[in-house]
A and B are shown apart, each in its own frame.
Chain A
Amino acid sequence: MPEKGPKPEDLLRVEHNKLPEKDWLEPDVDFKAKHGNYCYPSKPKMLEYLGMPNPRQWRPADDDWKLPPDWQEIIYKGMQERLDRFRSFKLFMDICVRCGACADKCHFFIGSGDPKNMPVMRAELLRSVYRRQHTTAGKVLGKFAGARDLTEDVLKEWFYYFYQCTECRRCSVFCPYGIDTAEITMMGRELLNLVGVNINWVMEPVANCYRTGNHLGIQPHTFKDNIEFAADDLADITGVKVEVPINKKGAEILFVTPSADYFGSPHYYTFLGYMALFHEIGLDYTMSAFASEGGNFGLFTSHEMMKRLNAKIYAEAKRLGVKWILGGECGHMWRVLHQYMDTMNGPADFLEEPVSPLTGTRFENATSTKMVHISEFTADLLREGKIKLDPSRNDHFRVTYHDSCNPARAMGLFEEPRYLLRSSCNNFFEMPESTIRERTFCCGSGSGLGTDENLEARLRGGMPRANAVQYVHEKHGVNLLTCMCAIDKATLPPLMEYWVPGVEVAGVHELVGNALVMKGEGERTTDLRGTPLLTKEEVTANV
């Protein structure tokens, strides 16, 4: 954590009701003063590799952003195209009544008090230009109709605020018209990308993913090394040696998961959980060194880029001749798989309707897309008695669950992970109602914002989530925050360290893996992280 950065008590001094006198129509971002709240621009080589416009060196704090000479024309044309293609965009530009119900639903507004972080304002930044271009009132009355010209300062404001929204969709749950700020931000970012205004923390993973198959740029030999390393680790802990097939043709199932699972921590322990599970049930599956990423930072770039990166999943499933696809724990990955993949790169008529080879359960909710969420798959195994869990192996944890934004608000995946958690541990506690399920608060770092240079914005944006964790930490002694999102797993640990020291972060299948009783296993003395398990005496003492 930042040694000289703001202290928690400083960040908590937020004024929500002290609004600037200045009219919001005047763009007003001082990038020098806002250091710590925005991300650095894309390196030119990333854009060059992807064939994206206007690669160059620039800095947000510079006066000259080196935009193309006809940048306004490009944006106007891009806006028209998107209005014609997306009813969501057109409708959301028109029907907001500015009732303000969304205002204090945004974690960034709650954490920063910056009025332009109110979802309604984020959209108005775009709407004001839309009105000027596309509505009579805006053309004639200008400012009086809430319309303004697209100036460089307006564009800079777009950059600042569209990269300070994590597309978490919490506001869309509360909006009486279902206006979805994720949709607005996605359009805003698409437009910015047309003139080469983007951030490296999104574009580098995109370029990596396009080339190597995964965001982290892991090449096939390292991919294999990492997995073998993990298998050795698992053998040390459980005494069971597992095999993970790679690029195996004719396997029944292709398993796709975010690359952080086999590279990052604490994701890695969840990955160990998957490996243990698949081995224990004797699953005929393969991983792919090509489709080695379930996540898709294309979602944070443009619809086109999302499709470009997503295409490899079906292509690889077809090449390997599998029957269906199983997907690991991830947030935005599942938004893409659930709401976009089949439409963009389907129909997957070369695959079969997913059936669990162990229980015979047909996953009827995935008959078209042919991709099943790991928590659906495992919940079915558990329900049908195909796996045995010993929850006491998680007795050193007092657990709560953070609903990751996209599985919550773009899938409705609430009960499957809870069923798994309640079966895997003995101490489970929910956070307050206003902060879980469809009302869950973002980690504050989603949609490609999980980097260091915008740490202040992340800590502020993550405050509502952390605050709810703190509540159960103090009330129930919760020491483990579980979640089902790779970005959560990467960004919640520093958030906890800052706001709620003493709480660790884990995936759901890490707890499943801890509790999983395996054939031929030795006695477990540690969990998958290598932390010693509680002895019988300690358990008794705790009760």
Chain B
Amino acid sequence: MAKMLYPFLIVVALALVGYAGGSLPALQVVFGIIIPYIAMAAFVAGFAYRMLGWVRSPVPFRITTTAGQQRSLPWIKANNLEAPANKLGVLGRMALEVLLFRSLFRNTSAGLRGKRLLFGEEKLLWAGGLLFHYSFLVIILRHTRFFLDPVPFFVPWLQAVDGFFQVGVPAMYITTATILVALLFLFARRVVMPQIRYISLPADYFPLFLILGIGTTGVLMRHFFRVDIEAVKELALSLVVLQPRIPANVGPLFFAHLALVSSLLVYFPLSKLMHMGGIFLSPTRNLTNDNRRRRHVNPWNYPVPTHSYAEWQEEFKEKLEMAGIPLDEDLDHKPEMAAARGGHA
């Protein structure tokens, strides 16, 4: 229970601190300008630092996971997406993975019914995950109307599609509903499914609550406690052009929203949310399956002691002679090290 409760309380506290800070004109500079700047810097620097950290470690072996037929004989149909034989195949495989969550789409459930092990299709996690990520993406893109002037061409189009159902005034966006539903689903499965509850850490609940908090404060601002949208845009734009200033009438609710967004930015590089960058580096997915066609070089391929043929022949000489297996003359009898050929170590 504490695993859920503490992250929840932390998110509530962060929102309240933001709200309080926004209520006090003296602190608005801190919560409206200084903290967002620090958070953005932490996000960019942190993200880059983590990516570089991974990239600094080499990929010594080509350990592709193959999920389809290899390219071998010309008359056997190869599957270039699931066992990519070339870079193009890898590109396709990665695109499917990143854009459509290919591997998760494979998901099944396994369970014993009597003495029979049965498998069922299990697409809910895939659907919930996809729904969450795409809703979030659309929401972020929609928000560029606050940061960019002129507003990018696609934003009005996106708003029109997203607000298609024209429910309420102002119209409720579809993605507002879908992201909340998706987040609640992702949360619920951690609570309801015993296996998932067992493996879940506070670090799994915290980002769910944080993003739920961001969404909730956003909904409150748009639909319930209207904030001065012009003032918000003025603040956002001033931050982007590096001439920050706090307009009057922004309203404390916006500061709560901003505090949670800042928290997310800071938290992101420190957390599992880095799967966003990490997926691109995953060696089982982003490598070709052409190991025997094209040699992969390991930069730290160091020499190791081996048991050479010469030593072996020496040890088993009598038995070799007895069995009439031909002996090799003119051998170097020094122990051998399997040299690091091709590598620089």
In chain B, residues 186-200, which have Cβ atoms closer than 8 Å to a Cβ of chain A?
189, 193-200
Asked if B116 is an interface residue, CB under 8 A from chain A, the answer is: yes
- What is the CB-to-nearest-CB distance from A124 to chain B, in angstroms, rounded to a whole number? 7
Name the one of B60, B72, B325 contacting A289, with C-beta atoms under 8 angstroms: B325
On whether A411 and B117 interact (CB within 8 A), knowing A211-B307, A224-B325, A343-B61, the answer reads: no
Asked if B57 is an interface residue, CB under 8 A from chain A, the answer is: yes
A312 and B325 contacting across the interface, CB-CB below 8 Å: no
In chain A, residues 80-128, which have Cβ atoms closer than 8 Å to a Cβ of chain B?
83-91, 94-101, 103-105, 110, 115, 118, 120-121, 124
In chain A, residues 206-234, which have Cβ atoms closer than 8 Å to a Cβ of chain B?
210-213, 219-221, 224-225
Asked if A432 is an interface residue, CB under 8 A from chain B, the answer is: yes
A220 and B66 contacting across the interface, CB-CB below 8 Å: no
- What is the CB-to-nearest-CB distance from A115 to chain B, in angstroms, rounded to a whole number? 5
Name the one of A145, A178, A345 contacting B338, with C-beta atoms under 8 angstroms: A345
- In Å, the complex CA distance between A99 and B199 comes to 9
User: Secondary structure at chain B's binding surface: helix, strand, loop or mixed?
Assistant: loop
Name the A residues within 8 Å of B307 (CB-CB): 210-211, 308, 312
Which of B20-28, B164-172, B221-229, B273-281 lies at the interface with chain A?
A: B273-281
A145 and B201 contacting across the interface, CB-CB below 8 Å: yes
The interface centre, meaning the residue of A8, A146, A337, A379 with most chain B CB atoms within 10 A of its CB, is A146
A19 and B65 contacting across the interface, CB-CB below 8 Å: no
A369 and B291 contacting across the interface, CB-CB below 8 Å: yes
Asked if B293 is an interface residue, CB under 8 A from chain A, the answer is: yes
Asked if A368 is an interface residue, CB under 8 A from chain B, the answer is: yes
Which of B29-37, B77-85, B153-161 lies at the interface with chain A?
A: B77-85
Q: Return the chain B residue nearest A89 by Cβ.
A: B57
- In Å, the complex CA distance between A224 and B275 comes to 54
Give me 11 other A-B pairs in contact (C-beta within 8 A), A17-B193, A178-B285 excluded. Answer: A19-B197, A94-B274, A100-B195, A104-B111, A337-B292, A346-B295, A347-B295, A412-B82, A434-B108, A438-B68, A438-B82
Asked if A263 is an interface residue, CB under 8 A from chain B, the answer is: no
B304 and A379 contacting across the interface, CB-CB below 8 Å: no
In chain B, residues 77-135, which have Cβ atoms closer than 8 Å to a Cβ of chain A?
77-79, 82-83, 85, 97, 101, 103-104, 106-112, 115-117, 119, 125, 129
B278 and A51 contacting across the interface, CB-CB below 8 Å: no
Asked if A539 is an interface residue, CB under 8 A from chain B, the answer is: no
- What is the CB-to-nearest-CB distance from A412 to chain B, in angstroms, rounded to a whole number? 3
On whether A289 and B320 interact (CB within 8 A), knowing A19-B195, A438-B82, A464-B117, the answer reads: yes
Task: List 29 A–B pairs whose Cβ atoms lie within 8 Å, in order of A's numbering.
Answer: A16-B111, A89-B57, A91-B54, A91-B278, A94-B50, A95-B272, A98-B204, A100-B193, A100-B195, A118-B199, A146-B202, A178-B279, A179-B284, A213-B312, A221-B319, A224-B323, A308-B307, A308-B338, A343-B297, A366-B292, A367-B292, A369-B293, A369-B295, A409-B65, A412-B82, A419-B76, A438-B67, A464-B110, A471-B116
On whether A85 and B57 interact (CB within 8 A), knowing A99-B129, A118-B195, A338-B291, the answer reads: yes
On whether A342 and B6 interact (CB within 8 A), knowing A19-B197, A95-B278, A169-B65, the answer reads: no
Asked if A32 is an interface residue, CB under 8 A from chain B, the answer is: no
Name the one of B103, B110, B325 contacting A173, with C-beta atoms under 8 angstroms: B103
A414 and B117 contacting across the interface, CB-CB below 8 Å: no
Asked if A278 is an interface residue, CB under 8 A from chain B, the answer is: no
Name the one of A124, A173, A176 contacting B199, with C-beta atoms under 8 angstroms: A124
Asked if A4 is an interface residue, CB under 8 A from chain B, the answer is: no
Asked if B333 is an interface residue, CB under 8 A from chain A, the answer is: no
Name the A residues within 8 Å of B83 (CB-CB): 412
C-beta contact mask, A312-334 vs B, less than 8 Å → 1, else 0?
A: 10011001000000000000000
- In Å, the complex CA distance between A188 and B281 comes to 22
Name the B residues within 8 Å of A219 (CB-CB): 316, 319
Binding site for A on B (CB under 8 A): 6, 50, 53-73, 75-79, 82-83, 85, 97, 101, 103-104, 106-112, 115-117, 119, 125, 129, 189, 193-204, 270-272, 274-275, 278-279, 281-285, 289-298, 300-301, 304-309, 312-313, 315-316, 319-320, 322-326, 328, 336, 338, 341-342
Q: Return the chain A residue nearest B282 by Cβ.
A: A178
- In Å, the complex CA distance between A14 and B197 comes to 19
A98 and B200 contacting across the interface, CB-CB below 8 Å: yes
- What is the CB-to-nearest-CB distance from B194 to chain A, in angstroms, rounded to a whole number? 5
B110 and A104 contacting across the interface, CB-CB below 8 Å: yes
- In Å, the complex CA distance between A345 and B303 comes to 9
On whether A290 and B295 interact (CB within 8 A), knowing A174-B104, A177-B282, A178-B285, the answer reads: no
Name the A residues within 8 Å of B296 (CB-CB): 342-343
Name the A residues within 8 Å of B338 (CB-CB): 307-308, 311, 315, 344-345
On whether A221 and B202 interact (CB within 8 A), knowing A176-B101, A311-B338, the answer reads: no
A95 and B279 contacting across the interface, CB-CB below 8 Å: yes
Asked if A533 is an interface residue, CB under 8 A from chain B, the answer is: no
C-beta contact mask, A173-205 vs B, less than 8 Å → 1, else 0?
A: 111111110010000000000000000000000
- What is the CB-to-nearest-CB distance from A9 to chain B, in angstroms, rounded to a whole number? 7
Asked if A428 is an interface residue, CB under 8 A from chain B, the answer is: no
In chain A, residues 158-184, which have Cβ atoms closer than 8 Å to a Cβ of chain B?
169, 172-180, 183
Name the A residues within 8 Å of B323 (CB-CB): 220-221, 224-225
Name the B residues within 8 Å of A211 (CB-CB): 307, 315
In chain A, residues 329-375, which have Cβ atoms closer than 8 Å to a Cβ of chain B?
337-340, 342-347, 361, 363-369, 371
- In Å, the complex CA distance between A363 and B72 comes to 7
- What is the CB-to-nearest-CB distance from A295 to chain B, in angstroms, rounded to a whole number? 16
On whether A177 and B309 interact (CB within 8 A), knowing A144-B6, A145-B203, A344-B301, the answer reads: no
- What is the CB-to-nearest-CB distance from A28 to chain B, in angstroms, rounded to a whole number? 13
Interface size class of A (residues with CB under 8 A): 35 or more
- What is the CB-to-nearest-CB distance from A62 to chain B, in angstroms, rounded to a whole number? 30
- In Å, the complex CA distance between A410 and B61 comes to 12
Name the B residues within 8 Å of A87 (CB-CB): 54-55, 57-59, 281, 283
A416 and B72 contacting across the interface, CB-CB below 8 Å: yes
Q: Return the chain B residue nearest A465 by Cβ.
A: B117
- In Å, the complex CA distance between A73 and B111 comes to 42
B73 and A383 contacting across the interface, CB-CB below 8 Å: yes
Name the A residues within 8 Å of B309 (CB-CB): 290, 312, 315-316, 319
- What is the CB-to-nearest-CB distance from A95 to chain B, in angstroms, rounded to a whole number? 4
Name the B residues within 8 Å of A85 (CB-CB): 57-58, 60, 300
B195 and A17 contacting across the interface, CB-CB below 8 Å: yes
Name the B residues within 8 Å of A383 (CB-CB): 73, 75
The interface centre, meaning the residue of A8, A220, A346 with most chain B CB atoms within 10 A of its CB, is A220
On whether A103 and B195 interact (CB within 8 A), knowing A90-B54, A339-B291, A345-B341, the answer reads: yes
